[in-house]
Structure 1
Amino acid sequence: MANLINNLGGTFGFGENYLSRNDDSYSSYIDLSSIFENGINFFGETYTGLYVNNNGNVTFGYGLSNYTPTVIGGNFSNPIIAPFWADVDTRSTNWYDSDISDGYVTPSEGGTSQGTNLTWYDIDEVNKTFTVTWDDVGYFSRNTEKVNAFQLQLISTGNGNFDIVYRYEDINWTTGDASYGSNGLGGTVARAGFSAGDGLNYHEFYFSGDQNFMLNLDENQLTSSSESGVWKYSVNEGSVIGMGLENNDDTIIGTPSNDIMDGRSGNDILSGGLGDDTISGGEGDDILYGNEGNDSLIGGNGSNQLFGGDGIDSALYLGIRNTLDISSNDNGTFTVTSEDIEDILDSIELISFDDGDMSVDYAVEVRENQEEFARFYNALFQRLPDNEGLSYWVNDLIDTSLGGGGNTIQGAAQAFADSHEFQELYGNDVNNSEFINLLYQNILNRQADTGGYNYWLNEIGSTNDRGGMIVNFANSEEFINNTENEINQYLQEVPLDDYILI
């Protein structure tokens, strides 16, 4: 969570200017030449002012009243910077806004928001900063049981250059009622990013429009700032540092700072620097290098190569955890596949999901155990496991590998052999000879050959380990070859959900 900047003067600390309580309105033109003496160079166009829009954004061409957000992309004609474009409604619940205090709400806990349910803006000529604050604002229509507190700052760095800072203190809703939402959620979800309005230059948060991601903007650390909930972009000579061109094959090299890079479409090569970088390949077949620092890499659609480098690096797969598959390669790399994605991970320690992180090694272990237990079920019970049963056994096995009190693979197999379902299929009291013949018949679908039968009879006679024998039969080359297609198809439909996150 990032506290709102709250030392800007005025009664509530957000300056003295605010938009009257409204739904879908915007300010008059605001002249910013006292801050940006050379204008605001935004992708080659120079502006001297802008409009503050109640619905979570500012625009340079004209005020924007659109309450249902659209993709912030090449089709946008009005230059926009949007920290949280959604249907903000600052009107009070009593219908009559006779006084500013009529719309006050309880401030969000733990931050510096003030509960005014208003959109404020401040022109700081000393620090060359323009700040817009959406202070505990509600959503359409006059709903304030959930409120959001967020901020936008444009900070002059001289000669028309500037920094864009998005600051998120508390996000609890994503959608207004008129955008097909219910209780502030669902429907057409809020979006964040910016566009030059020229059809060429734009950037949208990679998971903009995804409800879980937008609700966690205040906790997210996928930023060029060391502070959770703060997103920062530097605009230099009209271009955003680290953003590629649409439809181009770009090569972008990072700085020693914490960089945000976006290759967008095209087959790009993006290389981070010394800091903790967030690197997104976008569409196309991209190569991403984190290098030093703790980096977050997003391959995007296509066949991508992600090289983490030094530090603790993450590959991000937000929103697609239930379709993800991962396997290890002989050269120490990992292959991650999902619909429209095939990534090779090298020196990547973590896979990040909406609800937490999973180590790459652990994710591979989960997949391998899922495959083994699917074979156990298929071998012993002539059926594939339900998700609940599979999740139980895999987590039990993982708990052991993490030093807990879970089971071993042999112990789990013995538990299968002791189960009521197994005894119904194989009988309650079978001797070793009968047990071996049943394994051949039920698992390998054939009669035991003499050599194999004698070998297993000798093995079980010396160890009395039926669980170990089940493991060997289920993992035999013969059974794997017989069931490979069926098991693989099943695993494609089994998510990584319900497994331990770190």
Structure 2
Amino acid sequence: MADEKPVYLSGTTGNDELYGGAGNDGLEGNGGYDRLFGGDGDDVLRSGDFYDAAAGLRLPDKLGDVLDGGAGNDHLFGAGGRDLLLGGAGDDELRGGAGDDLLLGGEGNDLLDGGAGLDRAQFSGQRAGYSVAKNGEGYTVSHGTESGVTLGIERLVFSDRALAFDLKGNAGQIYRLYQAALNRAPDLDGLGFWIDAADRSVSMLDIAAGFTHSAEFARLYGNSVGNEAFLSQLYQNALHRQPDQEGFDFWLGALNKGVARESVLLGFAESPENHAQVIGSIQHGIDYIPV
């Protein structure tokens, strides 16, 4: 363990635990599944590459390094892998690097940069207690007298719900699928269920099949309608218009050749026309309740 003097500790290529003290310390994991604890002081923590290990905190399935800055104005840098970065008290800078990371700034005015991957920033309070405003390439998240800036963060996770910004990714695709299939905005619980499925690598085609085999879908389209009737109803539900003949003939030909209805539904959901219809509802983020 480091004492109160500033120190630099570098781990091995194995699985290390490094502890700073009350000084301004530098801790570097240097490979393996590492746990770095800065303690008090203004610390710099850097992870290395990682091996998978189980962990909690609503993380992705597998966790890489854990970086805990403790009190002080800390700088935490993740590397490749699914890292957990904990800023603690103070005005911290957390940068996740590559991988699907979870960043918790803690008290203070923090900068949270997820880097590449599907990254989450987690906050302790309910969504209603925070304001979220666009700020250049990222967002400013304010709570009381504190505010932080997020960059490259796809999900803001609060105690009661979450806000997704991956409009071209899983969250946006699921929202558009709801609108196209069921002609309505998603319910927050259902949206959270399907976003979680997509995040766990369930294919969009399989998710679309979940919609086409649902009771609500059957009520809208009928239990045993032919391809022409199905397609006409899909134009109405998804695009709110009569079919154009060229488009109708194209999709009908695909269905008659054995293309699955869920595949056609997915084509409508991701069409430029449906994108244009939906963007006004999701451009400031997508609310959902996580699983």
TM-score band w.r.t. shorter chain: 0.5 to 0.7
Question: Does structure 1 retain, via aligned residues, the 8 Å contact 2:139–2:151?
Answer: yes
Identify, as 1 or 2, the structure richer in strand: 1
1:307 maps to which residue?
95
Per the alignment, do residues 255 and 282 of structure 1 end up closer, same or farther by CA in structure 2, a change over 3 Å counting? closer
Partner residue of 2:208 out of 413, 425, 435: 413
Per the alignment, do residues 423 and 368 of structure 1 end up closer, same or farther by CA in structure 2, a change over 3 Å counting? same
- 2: CA distance, partners of 1:421 / 1:274: 48
2:150 maps to which residue?
343
Mapping 1:464-483, distance limit 5 Å: 464-483=259-278
- 1: CA distance, partners of 2:95 / 2:233: 49
Question: Does structure 2 retain, via aligned residues, the 8 Å contact 1:444–1:478?
Answer: yes
Matched, 1:455 2:274: no
1:82 maps to which residue?
none
- 1: CA distance, partners of 2:103 / 2:215: 43
- 1: CA distance, partners of 2:285 / 2:158: 24
Q: Which amino acid aligns with 2:39?
A: I
Mapping 1:106-121, distance limit 5 Å: none
Per the alignment, do residues 473 and 319 of structure 1 end up closer, same or farther by CA in structure 2, a change over 3 Å counting? same
Does the residue aligned with 2:169 lie in a helix, a strand or coil? Answer: helix
Matched, 1:259 2:60: no
Mapping 1:100-139, distance limit 5 Å: none
What displacement does 1:469 show? 0.5
For normalisation by structure 1, the TM-score amounts to 0.35
Question: Does structure 2 retain, via aligned residues, the 8 Å contact 1:380–1:442?
Answer: yes
- 2: CA distance, partners of 1:409 / 1:475: 11
Mapping 1:210-225, distance limit 5 Å: none
Q: Which amino acid aligns with 1:432?
A: N
2:174 maps to which residue?
373
2:113 maps to which residue?
none
Partner residue of 1:439 out of 229, 234, 259: 234
Per the alignment, do residues 490 and 312 of structure 1 end up closer, same or farther by CA in structure 2, a change over 3 Å counting? closer
2:32 maps to which residue?
none
What displacement does 1:390 show? 2.4
Q: Percent identity?
A: 25
Q: Which amino acid aligns with 2:26?
A: G
1:298 maps to which residue?
87
Q: Could you list the runs of 5+ residues in structure 2 that have no partner in the other structure? A: 6-15, 29-35, 49-65, 105-120, 131-136
For normalisation by structure 2, the TM-score amounts to 0.55
| Aligned pairs, number | 222
Question: Does structure 1 retain, via aligned residues, the 8 Å contact 2:85–2:94?
Answer: no
Higher relative contact order (CA 8 A, sep 6+): 2
What displacement does 1:321 show? 8.0
Matched, 1:393 2:194: yes
Question: Does structure 1 retain, via aligned residues, the 8 Å contact 2:41–2:72?
Answer: yes
Mapping 1:228-267, distance limit 5 Å: 233-234=21-22, 241-242=23-24, 254=26, 259-260=38-39
What displacement does 1:282 show? 7.7
- 2: CA distance, partners of 1:292 / 1:489: 29
Identify, as 1 or 2, the structure richer in helix: 2
- 2: CA distance, partners of 1:392 / 1:462: 32
Per the alignment, do residues 313 and 440 of structure 1 end up closer, same or farther by CA in structure 2, a change over 3 Å counting? closer
| Alignment RMSD (CA, Å) | 5.0
Per the alignment, do residues 352 and 261 of structure 1 end up closer, same or farther by CA in structure 2, a change over 3 Å counting? farther
